[in-house]
Structures are given as C-alpha cells and as structure tokens.
Structure 1
Amino acid sequence: MNKEDIETLNSVINSGLNKLYTGASILIGKKDKVLYRNFFGTKDGEEVLTESDIFDLASLTKIIATTTGIMKLIDENKINLEDKIGKYIKVSSPKSKVTIFELLTHTSGIPAYSQLWQKYSRDELYDRIINLQPQENTNKCYEYSCLNFVALMKIIEVVTQRSFKEYIENIFTTLGMRNTCYKPKNKEKTVATSIRDGKRIKGEVEDEIAYYMGGVSGNAGLFSNVDDLSIFVFNLLDYNIASKETFEFFTKALIKRGENITHIGYMAPPVAGCQYALDSSGFGHNGFTGTSLWVRTDGLFSIFLTNSVYYDRFLKKPELNVIRNRINNIVFSK
C-alpha cells in the first residue's frame, strides 16, 4: 500500500473515533504478507489500545470457529454436508431433517434468533435452542440465523466428543493464535463493549445467547486481535486449516435464494460494509460489535476490528458501514 492510501485509511478510521467506537485496529495483508497494520484510540475510553488487546469478534466467530470446525471434520470424513441433524442430535421432525449444508447457508428455516435467554441459561438454554423447530421453508429461502450455528456447535461436540471450546481452541493453539479464545482470563486486555445490567461489558461476550449459555457459542463468543486473525487467514489460504478442495468449495460455491447470495459458512458480497469493493467471489463476514474480515480471491484481505456497540448497539450501524465501505473500497481498489 502506498503512503497516500495509508493516510486516507488513517483519516477514515480516525473520523469514527470517540463517536462510533473508542478503539479500532486494522490489518491489510496479501497471501503471506502483512501490508499495513495500525491501532487507534482506546479500549474503554481511557486506556490506550495496544497490539495485544483483544476484541469481541461477535459473528466472526461463525467463520473463525464454527465453519473451521466443520471443514476439518469434513476433511477427516467424520461428517458430510448432506448429513441431517437427526444423525447426530436427538431432535424431533422437521428439524431432524435439516442438513448441515442448510445450517451453514442459512437456508434451514430455523429462526434468526431467540429471546429464550430471558428465561433460561447455560445447559437448559442450550438444549431449548437446539430443540427450536424451523419455520415453514418449503423453498429453502435464505434467513440469516445465529441459531443455525448453535446447532452446528452441538454437532461438532457430538462428533468430536469434546467441548466446543476445547476443540476449537486447540485448533488455534496449533496455528499459533495465542490471543484467540472464548472467555478470556485477562479481562484487562479486552476492549469494552456496551452496558449490561447497568455495568460496562469488558471481557464478557456481548451476544445474549452466547453470554447466557456461559460465554461459549457457535454464533458468537470469540475474542481475538488483528495479528491472530491474520495468522488464521494466512493458514486458510495456504490450506493448512482445510484441504484445498474443501476450502475452495466453501468459499467459491454460490448459493442463491431470491436476492440473497452466500457462500458456505462465509458471507458473499455485496453485504453491509462491503457493498462495492468486492463482487460475490470475495468471502468473509461481519460482526455485530463492529468487526469485519474480507478476502479477495487473489489473497488480498482486510481485517477491521472496532467496539462500535460502545456508544449504541444499533443506531451507529449505518455510520459504521459507511466507514467499512470506505476502508474496503481503498483496500480492494488495487
């Protein structure tokens, strides 16, 4: 990246400081090289953000953790995309007939979210979410659903006979991602998010389902930083996480349902925050807390982490997406 691009990126990110987020970090890379990285602002409105501090990734968890786990189990011939939930989990029909493919592509008909966390917690909440039935979906329409990835988490636990946290974090440790985890032990190194029960959230997951399930879920709960996520992308592109066949199938297949297009596990542009820079051959994901990761097919990628829920959980989204679009336009115009 040239000096002008870097100055423009810095200006765009600084424009959101102390308005949309207290802190942000960015890393631009290509294949196995870091082209640019920087850190902005504070992690809580006071303490300066450092390179070792970690962000609540929110729905980036879906691709970094859950989709990764599924790809590895496919490579090990332990599961198949066409396998039905009922093969692994005792649930009644019609949910028992939903496939892993439908869970990954948000075509299961399972509701987008659930307010069951208001009544239940931990194992009881987990079980009740697993048993939620799909809505009528005869045309296999697209509906983005966090609950799909809770079901995928359960399948991974059944197949591996290990806790999801243990299984996933072992993958990260093997890759050298030492700052990526669920339920971080050192909360002082975490970036603050919104307010829950009158207290600022710091070191605990923002997402309600993940929080009330105990901090671990397939849809949210991971904490990480740009350096660890770049390690993840490097290894993904080098086929060290999944085989070339599996990786390319997940990131190149295009599933079209009406006006919606998605990859398998991964989002396909155009989506909010990445509306103009990439066509649908690109892949990545956004996170509710203000995080994003996008990759172009030639290996150029952008990681942008913020705590945009710090000031407001919902009202800042349009302004954040303007900034994310501007960043991705700069990065992927090359």
Structure 2
Amino acid sequence: MLKLRHTLFSVFFFAIVFGNAQAFETMSNNIDSVVYDAIKDQAFPGCVVYISKDDSILFMRSYGHHTYDSLRRVAVNDIYDLASITKVVGGTLAMMKLYDDGKYNLDDRIGDYIDKIGKVGKVTFREVLTHQAGLYPWIPYYEEVKRKNGKFKSKTISSNLDDDYSYQLSDSLYLHSGFYEKIKKMIRKSDVAREKKYRYSGLFFYLIPELVESLTDTLYQEYLETNFYHQVGAKTLMFNPLDKFSLHQIAPTEIDTFFRMEPIHGKVHDEGAIMMKGVSGNAGLFSNAEDLASIFQMLLDEGKIDSLQLLSPQTIQLFTTTQYPNNDNRRGLGFDKPLLQYDSIASSVAQSASFKSYGHSGYTGTLAWADPESDLIFIFLTNRVYPSRTFRALYQRNVRPTIHQFIYDYLKDIETQENDPVENTK
C-alpha cells in the first residue's frame, strides 16, 4: 500500500476516507482560532502545526510570520530550533542505538564510561536519562567563563578570531577549541543531591557526544545522520543548519541582550549547546515539521523504515515506558510522558493522550508527541522566545495541549459516527 505521509493530498484523503468532512472542518477551525488568538496575544509570531494519523498527514498548516514585523510568512517546510526536543531525537536516539548494540547497561555507572566527571559519575544511565539522578538542573556556562572584572577567563572566549579561537559564537565572540573540557569541569564540580528524586537536568546530555565517540569511534553527529536521519529521509534535521540552508528558511529565535548581544538566527538558542559548537545531546537540532515527524513515525513503526530495522521494538518499548512511577516521576528513558495525575495548567499535552504516549517539549516553544494507541503524531514548531524569552503567553493560554485535545476530540467524533448507524445516514 502506498504511504501518503509525504503528500499534502493525504490531508484531504484522510478526511474523505473517514467520511467526516464536517468534523475535520470543526477541528481545523478550532485550531485556526486558537493559533490566531495566540499570535494576536504575542504568544509567538508564527508556527507550524503538523498532525499525522496512521502514517498519513491529517493536518499540516503554517501560521503567522517569522517575526512580528510581518516581513516573512511562515511556510510549512520552514526550519525551527527544536531546543530540548534534541534530547529525544538526538541524545536519546543515540543512547537507544548504543543500548541495542550492547554497548552499555542501563544500571551501569556513567563514570565507568566517561572520565573526569567526579561524583556525577556515580549515578547510573537509567537515573540520568529519567532525571532521577539528582543532578543540578543547568549551568550558565556563559557566566562561568567570566572573571569578576567582566573579562573572559583564559582558554574560554575571545573577541579575536585566531587558530585557538576559531568557532564563531557571534559577530564579536569566538570560542576556544578546547572549551568542552571546561564544560566537563563545571559538570564535575556541580551539585548532586543525596536524595534520588525527580529533578529535571540537561547536564548528562552534554556528555553524550563524547560517550558515542568513545564507544563507536564515530562522531556523534555522523552517528545520528548515518543510523537515523539519512535512513528516514530527514534532510532538514541537523545541527548548525546554516551549513546547508539559507537564513530565510530558518525562523529566528531570541534577540540576545545578555551574552551574544545580537539576534540569534540560524545558530542554536541554547547557551550551553552553542558553547559545544552547536552540537550536543541537550539542544542544537533544527528541523522542519515533516522531517521531525519521520523520526517519531519510525518509533511508532517499531523501529522499522521500509525493510530496515533501525531500533528493536523492545528497546523502543523500554525507553518510552515510565521507569520510576513510585517516585512521582513520569519520565521514560529520555522521553517525556503524560503527567501521572493530569493537570491542565502544568501539562504540555492533551488530557486524552494515552499513558503509552511520549515525546518532548522545547524551550523555544516546540513540542513533538507520539501516541502508539492511536498511531498519532502531533508536532508544534514555533519561536515563542522571539523577541524575548520573557514572552510566556504560549503557556498561559495552554496553546499546545488545547490543540492536541482538538485532535483527540476529532478522532472521538469519527469513532462515534462509525459506531452510530443513525449518524452514518445523515
């Protein structure tokens, strides 16, 4: 059977097959209304909403503009900074493949695989992937590199380009080639809580590229591209997108007023990832909606793409399952999960999302979520941090869970009409 995932025709085909044009129109109008109101309220300047069902596109629509000056309209294939969605389609994917290949055990200590990380090395892979290890949430690397007089410490950042400071952070800042060792030193010196309870932390995900390289003799970026991105045909899913794409295809993020002191456009928004030259397991990936969805469809298809088995079904099941529910921790291994007790204010996803569903949100306002029970994928790409991260109307208006719920309501309407002979005669 021909798969329609990569054709806009499937948007209309899906509605026709289910004989439910009215319900589809209601869902579409509801989504339009929520998004347009959010843009008006400056929750974000624009966005892309992508929905697929049973490996076919149900809905894919762009809204608004790249910025509030309305100079460039958003297109459905525009590229966005995924922020922490990188944790699942970057770092976690790599960890899943390494696990499949028997390179480590989940209850091994990470210090047995990565040196020079001190007491952080005593926690296990299972603990760090579920944010159960007690690691410090984050480190402001851009502040740690400064002396009290405001000048940068040696071998960190310089205002001059030379052989040692060759990676450009901004128009006037250049990163030292060996800065990763400084990141490891800061992680080594960071706090580790004695009590093992849920505390969200991105620190381990900065170490994943080194782990991949040490276990496979392959660069982290190459490892992901070879084993996943190329296999699913995801051409825009990449780090440092300016290496391949022009600025006009990429939505800008924040106007930085405290570190890089310039608009961030085409370079990763996350301050830690930019100081890893744009490549980390914590943040750094960019993508359009369809390419991002292709990774989640591979996961829903139990690791298969055509005749290739990229991941085992057992590994996908393990990583997308809650590990510490008795410790009030909803997380899978790398993947976020629905709240153990639904809270309409705190949740990023619909109340109707099944407990088997999984995904991740991103600081830039993005969300990617898959539900195996309904073979449903929901992608929301935006740049809510433009022009400033202080813009929080996206959360205050519950934009993402509201749209997500509209999808489940639509599917419920379809099921009701299919099972109601009276409805089917209307």
Please, what TM-score do these two structures have when normalized by structure 1? Answer: 0.93
* 1:211 alignment partner in structure 2: 274
Query: SS of 2:286's equivalent?
Result: strand
Q: Distance in 2 between matches of 1:236 and 1:59?
A: 18
- Distance change >3 Å, CA 324–CA 27, structure 1 → 2: same
How do 1:174-213 and structure 2 match up within 5 A? Answer: 174-185=231-242, 186=245, 187-196=247-256, 197-213=260-276
* 1:283 alignment partner in structure 2: 358
Query: SS of 1:48's equivalent?
Result: coil
Query: SS of 1:25's equivalent?
Result: strand
1:23 pairs, out of 46, 53, 75, with 46
- Distance change >3 Å, CA 256–CA 314, structure 1 → 2: farther
Which structure has the greater CA radius of gyration? Answer: 2
* 1:47 alignment partner in structure 2: 72
Query: SS of 2:317's equivalent?
Result: helix
Q: Which one-letter code corresponds to 1:39 in the other structure? A: S
Q: Which one-letter code corresponds to 1:127 in the other structure? A: K
Unaligned residue ranges in structure 1 (runs of 5+): none
1:57 pairs, out of 82, 88, 94, with 82
Contact 1:56 1:289 in 2 (8 A): yes
Comparing 270-279 with 194-203, which one deviates more in the overlay?
270-279
Contact 1:25 1:39 in 2 (8 A): yes
Comparing 189-198 with 20-29, which one deviates more in the overlay?
189-198
Cα displacement (A) at 1:257: 5.7
Identity %: 31
* 1:32 alignment partner in structure 2: 55
1:13 pairs, out of 35, 40, 49, with 35
1:307 is the counterpart of 2:383? yes
* 2:94 alignment partner in structure 1: 69
Q: Distance in 1 between matches of 2:283 and 2:295?
A: 17
Query: SS of 2:30's equivalent?
Result: helix
How do 1:50-129 and structure 2 match up within 5 A? Answer: 50-91=75-116, 93-118=118-143, 119=145, 120=156, 122-129=179-186
- Distance change >3 Å, CA 258–CA 86, structure 1 → 2: closer
Q: Distance in 2 between matches of 1:129 and 1:166?
A: 26
Cα displacement (A) at 1:320: 5.6
Comparing 85-94 with 321-330, which one deviates more in the overlay?
85-94
1:327 is the counterpart of 2:403? yes
Contact 1:85 1:155 in 2 (8 A): no
Please, what TM-score do these two structures have when normalized by structure 2? Answer: 0.73
- Distance change >3 Å, CA 260–CA 252, structure 1 → 2: closer
Q: Which one-letter code corresponds to 1:188 in the other structure? A: H
Cα displacement (A) at 1:153: 3.2
Superposed structure 1 runs of 4+ greater than 6 Å apart: none
* 1:136 alignment partner in structure 2: 193
Aligned length: 333
1:266 is the counterpart of 2:335? yes
Instruction: Provide, for residues 116-175 of structure 1, a one-character-per-residue CA deviation record: whole Å limited to 9, x for no partner.
Output: 33214532443324424442333x211100112112333222212222222223321222
1:146 pairs, out of 194, 202, 212, with 202
Instruction: Provide, for residues 269-289 of structure 1, a one-character-per-residue CA deviation record: whole Å limited to 9, x for no partner.
Output: 125322623253321111000
Aligned CA RMSD, in angstroms, stands at 2.0
